[in-house]
């Protein structure tokens, strides 16, 4: 009797063991598809971290076994290699670069213009063939944003560049895979890349549109009754109509440098003879907070002597400059 019971128990254990093996394989092979059309593999035993850039308003996730390094101009690199140390085996390397796109070109047109300038400087334009030819690219969506894809093959590697349009910025994502070598982890590596790419998204999408003029005061000028006007190092915005956002009252941006760059004011080459820079545009803002009780206009005394408590908002992006005003004007 005991032998029969032990035999039945062994059968049950064996069936359960096979069942759990099948379930594990099923989980490992599970896939879903994102809006960008990539297969996302569920990878076991990997923790993920999230990096958020609150100035350029994007986020990206990466697995615990990789590290993220932030370089100049908010260049982000996700890698498993130490700086300057030659890698062994197949490396993980994915980078995000951010460039200005003040003329709001499409990703394909921006790519063509940008690399045309690079060729002119390097002499590469004289070559009969270049991998930078836009005919080798493809226009398609990346996570619901307009994008331009370039795939390059060289030696054992295949590299992909994705150029994504975001207001007055172009985001470039670059990564490489190595299908031409003995890479036993090729599928796993591609799955990790696909998960990273699908996690990339822009934040503060729920922003508010504002129409009006922006001002950047430059220097000290004599005013009536002995008042002086000082540059307060902020760029401010006055809505065009009183019934619009903030009741038509002026507000300033918290992220000054980002607003200056996007609105075309070059801090490194300011005209010191200017009284102020100004222009008109449709923009997007977020997190508008009113800290004053009374409406403030650019003609109010506190605004002129820099004693106002300004309403503040986060600058998000330029929607469109007013016709004929693509560059900031200078009032002398």
Q: Which residues have C-beta within 8 Å of that of residue 159, sequence separation ≥ 6?
A: 151, 152, 153, 174, 175, 176
Distance separating alpha carbons of residues 324 and 321, to the nearest angstrom: 8
Q: What is the mean pLDDT of residues 55-70?
A: 86
Report yes or no on 12 lying in a domain: no
Q: What is the pLDDT of residues 154-196, one digit of tens each?
A: 767 778 899 998 877 899 999 887 665 666 677 788 888 889 9
Distance separating alpha carbons of residues 300 and 206, to the nearest angstrom: 32
Single residue among 182, 202, 222 that ends a domain in this structure: 202
Report yes or no on 31 lying in a domain: no
pLDDT bucket at 118, cuts 50 / 70 / 90: low
pLDDT over 50 (residue 64) = yes
Report yes or no on 11 lying in a domain: no
Q: Same domain for 195 and 83?
A: yes
Q: Same domain for 136 and 253?
A: no
- How distant is the alpha carbon of residue 331 from its chain centre? 33
Single residue among 202, 232, 256 that ends a domain in this structure: 202
Q: What is the mean pLDDT of residues 227-234?
A: 48
pLDDT over 90 (residue 148) = yes
Q: Same domain for 174 and 148?
A: yes
- The whole-number pLDDT of residue 224 equals 39
Report yes or no on 134 lying in a domain: yes
3-state secondary structure of 250: coil
Report yes or no on 175 lying in a domain: yes
Specify the higher pLDDT residue, 304 or 294: 304
Q: Same domain for 267 and 163?
A: no
Backbone angles phi, psi at 14, to 5 degrees: -65, -40
pLDDT bucket at 29, cuts 50 / 70 / 90: very low
DSSP 169-205: EEEEEEEEE-TTS--TTHHHHHHHHHHHHHH-EES--
Report yes or no on 20 lying in a domain: no
Lowest mean pLDDT among 91-95, 247-251, 278-282, 293-297: 293-297
Residue in the structure block whose two tokens are 């297969």: 39
Q: How many domains does the chain have?
A: 2
Domain of 68: which CATH number?
3.40.1000.10
Global model pTM greater than 0.75: no
Q: Identify the domain containing residue 114 by its residue range.
A: 39-202
Q: Which of 257, 277, 308 is nearest to 214 (CA)?
A: 277
Distance separating alpha carbons of residues 253 and 244, to the nearest angstrom: 17
Q: Same domain for 128 and 226?
A: no
Residue in the structure block whose two tokens are 């690219």: 137
Single residue among 152, 187, 202 that ends a domain in this structure: 202
Q: What is the mean pLDDT of residues 125-135?
A: 50
Q: Same domain for 185 and 220?
A: no
Report yes or no on 33 lying in a domain: no
- 136, 68 in Cβ contact below 8 A? no
Q: Same domain for 174 and 74?
A: yes
Q: Same domain for 187 and 316?
A: no
Q: Same domain for 238 and 196?
A: no
Q: Same domain for 197 and 225?
A: no
Backbone angles phi, psi at 230, to 5 degrees: -115, 145
Q: Which of 248, 239, 241 is nearest to 215 (CA)?
A: 239
Report yes or no on 6 lying in a domain: no
- The whole-number pLDDT of residue 324 equals 62
- The whole-number pLDDT of residue 38 equals 41
Q: Same domain for 90 and 130?
A: yes
Specify the higher pLDDT residue, 61 or 5: 61
pLDDT bucket at 126, cuts 50 / 70 / 90: very low
Q: Same domain for 83 and 226?
A: no
pLDDT over 50 (residue 252) = yes
């Amino acid at each position: 009797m005991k032998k029969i019971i032990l035999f039945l128990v062994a059968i049950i254990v064996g069936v359960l063991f096979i069942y759990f093996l099948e379930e594990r394989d099923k989980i490992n092979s599970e896939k879903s598809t994102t809006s960008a059309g990539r297969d996302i593999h569920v990878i076991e035993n990997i923790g993920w971290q999230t990096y958020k850039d609150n100035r350029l308003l994007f986020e990206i996730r990466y697995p615990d076994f990789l590290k993220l390094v932030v370089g100049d101009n908010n260049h982000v690199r996700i890698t498993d290699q130490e700086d300057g140390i030659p890698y062994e085996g197949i490396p993980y390397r994915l980078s995000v670069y951010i460039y200005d796109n003040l003329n709001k070109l499409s990703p394909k047109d921006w790519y063509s213009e940008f690399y045309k300038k690079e060729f002119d400087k390097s002499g590469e334009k004289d070559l009969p063939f270049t991998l930078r030819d836009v005919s080798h690219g493809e226009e398609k969506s990346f996570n619901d944003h307009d994008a331009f894809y370039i795939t390059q093959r060289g030696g054992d590697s295949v590299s992909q560049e994705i150029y994504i349009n975001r207001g007055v910025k172009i985001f470039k994502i670059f990564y490489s895979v190595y299908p031409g070598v003995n890479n036993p982890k090729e599928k796993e590596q591609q799955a990790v890349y696909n998960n990273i790419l699908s996690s990339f998204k822009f934040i503060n999408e729920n922003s508010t549109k504002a129409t009006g003029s922006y001002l950047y005061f430059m220097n000290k000028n004599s005013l009536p009754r002995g008042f002086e006007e000082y540059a307060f190092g902020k760029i401010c915005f006055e809505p065009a109509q009183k019934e619009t956002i903030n009741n038509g009252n002026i507000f300033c941006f918290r992220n000054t440098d980002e607003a200056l760059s996007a609105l075309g004011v070059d801090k490194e080459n300011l005209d010191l003879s200017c009284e102020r820079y100004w222009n008109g545009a449709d923009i997007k803002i977020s997190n508008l907070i009113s800290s004053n009780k009374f409406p403030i206009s650019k003609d109010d005394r506190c605004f002129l002597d820099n004693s106002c408590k300004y309403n503040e908002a986060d600058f998000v992006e330029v929607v469109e400059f007013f016709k004929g005003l693509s560059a900031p004007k200078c009032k002398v």
